[in-house]
Amino acid sequence: MRGIIDANDTDALEEVAAKYSIAIPQNIAEMLSVDAIARQFIPSKDELITHERELSDPIGDDAHSPLKGLVHRYKNRVLIKLVEVCGVYCRFCFRRENVGDNKGQALKTDELEQIYEYLRNHKEVEEVILTGGDPLVVSTRRLKEVAENIAKISHIRFFRIHTRTVIANPEVINDELIAALKASQKSVKMVIHTNHATEIDDAVKQALNKLISNQIQLFSQSVLLRGVNDKPEVLADLFNTLLLNNINPYYLHHPDLAKGTGHFYLNLEDGAKIYNETAKLISGLALPKYVIDIPGGFGKIPVNSGQVVKTDGGFILIDNNGRRHNYPIL
């Protein structure tokens, strides 16, 4: 790490490392000469700056967690936070207060059994989403165990994995891992977090091809980040690159109000302009939905819609139940 940061910032960055985990695997390290990649993964002393508006749990996971590791925010689907570590730590992560080295462990067998029992009793749930942390950092054996237990629950139709591993550690994507996921006997989907076209290098393309050849449907989620991808031509390049590699662009997230991430924020109005300009540059097939998670756990809404209303003092976000929430001008 000392070889890729300013020596003058060492003391401040040691303070950052004590608070927020740092990990940069080889595949990411080889991309760090690109500023947009370095900004995402190299720690910054700006992370020590927090604002009153920032939250430890910006999208309100805790308010919708009936069991440890389970989030049931939407009626027909649940998140299982299988593990609380990642192979790489994004500096803008919305779960950075709870995810990282020494911040948590993988769910234990008895905790998973409680989740399976919950799912058996909630027949309205038709999709299980593995998240974390990054679910693909756990052992293939544990992934297969989870998938086999999901296979036993007949009303679940879809098995989805949210991951950064395909970008950070593409060598992990092998036949054994794919077989473990397909042991769910469900329709398997994978949502890959990627924010810049540079991230889709040759090693990543090989991993993607292996997934696609095994009938795992791929989607993307990205975050609109100041200094990373906040230009229409950069986003257009990303989304076209995804489409060319058989990944369906799915979500572009407005950055969440996580502690110590203010240097990545954009104003909602600016974000909407960037998105609208991007839409002019690409096919509709390549354009994801631009969404914001309403702070406090009230769900996500499209930014370019009547659910986001500009006011003199900021914005009003209208959730899908018609409730109104104040949101600041950043």
pLDDT for residue 1 is more than 60: no
CA-CA distance, 187 to 159, in Å (whole number)?
Answer: 6
Give tens-digit pLDDT for 194-206: 999 999 999 999 9
How far is 292 from 303, CA to CA, in rounded Å?
A: 6
Kindly report the backbone phi and psi dihedral angles of residue 214, in degrees, each rounded to the nearest multiple of 5, phi listed first.
Answer: -105, 25
Q: What pLDDT is recorded for position 2?
A: 43
The arithmetic mean of pLDDT across residues 5-12, rounded, is: 60
**Domains (ranges, CATH) in the chain?**
50-305 (3.20.20.70)
- Beta carbons of 172 and 142 less than 8 angstroms apart: no
Average pLDDT, the chain: 93
Give per-residue pLDDT as tens, 211-236.
999 999 999 999 999 999 999 999 99
Residue 14's pLDDT is 86
Confidence of residue 9 (pLDDT cuts 50, 70, 90): low
* Planar angle of CA 93, 98, 101, nearest 5 degrees: 90
Measured distance CA(106)–CA(95) in Å, rounded? 15
pLDDT at residue number 4: 55
Residue 56 in this model has a pLDDT that exceeds 50 = yes
Where do we find the tokens 């900021």? Answer: 314
From the list 287, 281, 301, 169, the residue with the least C-alpha distance to 233 is: 281
In the chain, % of residues over pLDDT 70 = 96
Average pLDDT value for residue range 4-23? 75
pLDDT category of residue 247 using cuts at 50, 70 and 90: very high
The beta-strand segments (E) located in 34-173 are 70-74, 77-81, 127-131, 158-163
- Indicate if the pLDDT at residue 11 is higher than 70: no
- Helix %, strand %, coil % for the chain, to 5? 35, 20, 45
| Cα–chain center distance at 115 | 22
DSSP type of residue 255: P
Q: Give the pTM.
A: 0.93
Q: What is the pLDDT of residues 292-309, one digit of tens each?
A: 999 989 999 999 999 999
SS (H, E, C) 192-250: EECCCHHHCCHHHHHHHHHHHHCCCEEEEEEECCCCCCCCHHHHHHHHHHHHHCCCEEE
Q: Is the peptide bond before 271 cis (omega within 30 degrees of 0)?
A: no
pLDDT, tens digit, for every residue of 107-128? 999 999 999 999 999 999 999 9
Is 324 exposed, middle or buried, given 0-12, 13-18 or 19+ CB atoms closer than 10 A?
exposed
Residue bearing tokens 């662009």: 249
**Cα 191 to chain centroid, rounded:** 8
Q: How confident is the model at residue 6 (pLDDT cuts 50, 70, 90)?
A: low
